[in-house]
Structure 1
Amino acid sequence: MTATTAPAPSRLQRVAALAGAETRLLLRNRTAVVNSLLLPLFLVAFVPVAGLGGDGPLGPRLVVTAFAVTLVFLTYHNLVTTYVARREELVLQRMRSGELTPGEVLLGTAVPTLLVTLAQVVLVLAGTAVIGEWSAPTDVVLPLVALLGGMLLMTLLAAASTSFTRTAESAQITTLPLVVLASITSGIVVPLTAFPEQVAQVVRLTPIEPVVELARLGLAGQTWDGRSVDWAAAPQPLLVLAAWIAVAAAVAPRVFRWAPRR
């Protein structure tokens, strides 16, 4: 009688299994779960008071602000902390020595944070409908491209940032430069129109600004300087976002450390 062997799990099954384990760890962290629910509610309440998100209807401003805040303060920061914590616990090294490929390890570890990012944006969308500020987007594709492209870019930048982050605690400091840069250059806190024209054009080349610009184009039909247009203004932010993704995809695998420094 010939013994039969079970087929090896597929790449998708391996990533799903790792993502499931990481999700269970996240759900056990009650503070992280509560913060994930409270941050969108805080945005819905705070944005109108602070006048964030530029000019235009309140609904799109809320959602655009949610894009920028969740991608930087949740996706990027959380993933740097998670990757470094798993590295220092030797978890990444053990997983890499098994069937999982490096890409599968990084993706599976990132999935829970990416799902929370999506959930927070959906909660803000629901919040705009509840308060009566929802308006149909000018174009559905551009916000989706902005969100998915932004999540990919923040994941790659987080992986690259682990190269100079020694501990999970030090991530509070090492992530600060990108957080500050995004706060200044995204157009959420300081409108780009407040800068001289030449400076504003340079600011448009920073990592998070094209995400905000694409989201604003799709949701409100407005450019960074308030003009009402549609796809005609999309090529530049699309190219800038694609360029950042390409650079981050080339750098992250080269600098990512799988084992702690000894």
Structure 2
Amino acid sequence: MSAAITAAHAPVDAGPSRVSRTLALAGAELRLFLRNRTAVVNSVLLPLLLVAAVPALGIGEEVGPVGPQLVVTAIGVMLVFLTYYNLLTTFVARREEQILQRMRTGELTGLEVVLGIAAPTLLVTAGQIAVVALGVAVIGEWSAPVDVVLPVVALLCGAALMLMLAAASTAFTRTSESAQITALPLLVISSSLCGLFFPLSLMPEALATAARYLPLTPVVELSRLGLSGRTWDGDVVDLAGAWSAAPLPLAVLAGWLVVGAVLARRGFRWAPRR
């Protein structure tokens, strides 16, 4: 009798925690990522070449010193050309291989699957930006940021937004190859009108106003406010001025996060498209 009572009150093995399951999936995805030479080259080399084109072509001289502008450019370029595009192709490839569908039949929740698959790309994104920042310091172009909170918020929220938009874009992307076409609107329009390569202050007023509401623009605005103390129209500001100019891009970014979450929840597909 006592043995039966003891057995009834014995702790039940709940299995791996959510964090450990997500980390295990992230480790497997990282190994798969490193085995794909094309993905590694595209993720490491091409974004760095795009960033290197900024000082080589003299782009961005109107929006502040070269060092902070390089880091701002790295944040914008990595988020779009690395985080968004890589995650879109990865999600679609895993879906069409029925890997997502099989994962959903086990212990993993939907959020764990998405975060586990996205973790390697997010780590590479952060690593690339860190490499650019280190390079800026090595060549002597680093300057103390006006505020460190704004660029950190921009990077974290921007990465979350690109993850959501990549998940939402799987709704109209049939294959990983077709992602080259479906990703073009965000890759081309958003990156070209966000102020990275062409200052918004030099655009027609109507176009500049509309461009400030694109997904990547608030990320660039907040990063530039914090790193170089420059507003979207080129004014130089201090810490107080940076936060005075921050409410609009913060609100736009928050709005896009809500939109991205709704679109990802409704559009992300777990089963292959037929």
Task: Tell me the TM-score normalized by structure 1.
Answer: 0.95
Q: State which of 127, 146, 153 in structure 2 corresponds to 1:145.
A: 153
1:238 aligns with 2:250: yes
Secondary structure class of the residue paired with 1:159? helix
* Residue 190 of structure 1, CA deviation: 2.0
User: Which contiguous aligned blocks of 4+ residues in structure 1 show a shift greater than 4 angstroms?
Assistant: 1-5
Secondary structure class of the residue paired with 1:239? helix
Secondary structure class of the residue paired with 1:158? helix
Q: Structure 1 unaligned runs (5+)? A: none
Residue pairs, 1:87-126, within 5 angstroms = 87-126=95-134
Answer yes or no: is the 8 Å Cα contact 2:54–2:197 preserved in 1. no
Secondary structure class of the residue paired with 1:116? helix
Cα 1:35/1:180, change in 2 over 3 Å: closer
Q: Structure 2 unaligned runs (5+)? A: none
Q: Which segment drifts farther, 27-36 or 92-101?
A: 27-36
Answer yes or no: is the 8 Å Cα contact 1:18–1:108 preserved in 2. yes
1:250 aligns with 2:262: yes
1:12 aligns with 2:19: yes
Whole-angstrom CA distance in 1 between matches of 2:269 and 2:38: 28
Q: Which segment drifts farther, 27-36 or 202-211?
A: 27-36
CA RMSD, 1 decimal: 1.7
Secondary structure class of the residue paired with 1:261? coil
* Residue 44 of structure 1, CA deviation: 5.5
Q: Which segment drifts farther, 183-192 or 72-81?
A: 183-192
Answer yes or no: is the 8 Å Cα contact 2:224–2:231 preserved in 1. yes
Q: Deviations over 1:163-212 (max 9, x none)?
A: 00000100011101111112321111221112222321221011000000
Answer yes or no: is the 8 Å Cα contact 2:63–2:230 preserved in 1. no
Among the aligned pairs, what percent are the same residue? 65
The aligned residue for residue 271 of structure 2 is: 259
Q: Deviations over 1:27-83 (max 9, x none)?
A: 112333344443464355321122233421110110011011101100000000000
1:21 aligns with 2:47: no
Structure ID, larger Rg = 2
Cα 1:4/1:242, change in 2 over 3 Å: closer
Secondary structure class of the residue paired with 2:63? coil
1:216 aligns with 2:224: yes
Kindly tell me the number of residue pairs found equivalent between the two proteins: 262
Q: Which segment drifts farther, 136-145 or 186-195?
A: 186-195
Cα 1:42/1:261, change in 2 over 3 Å: closer
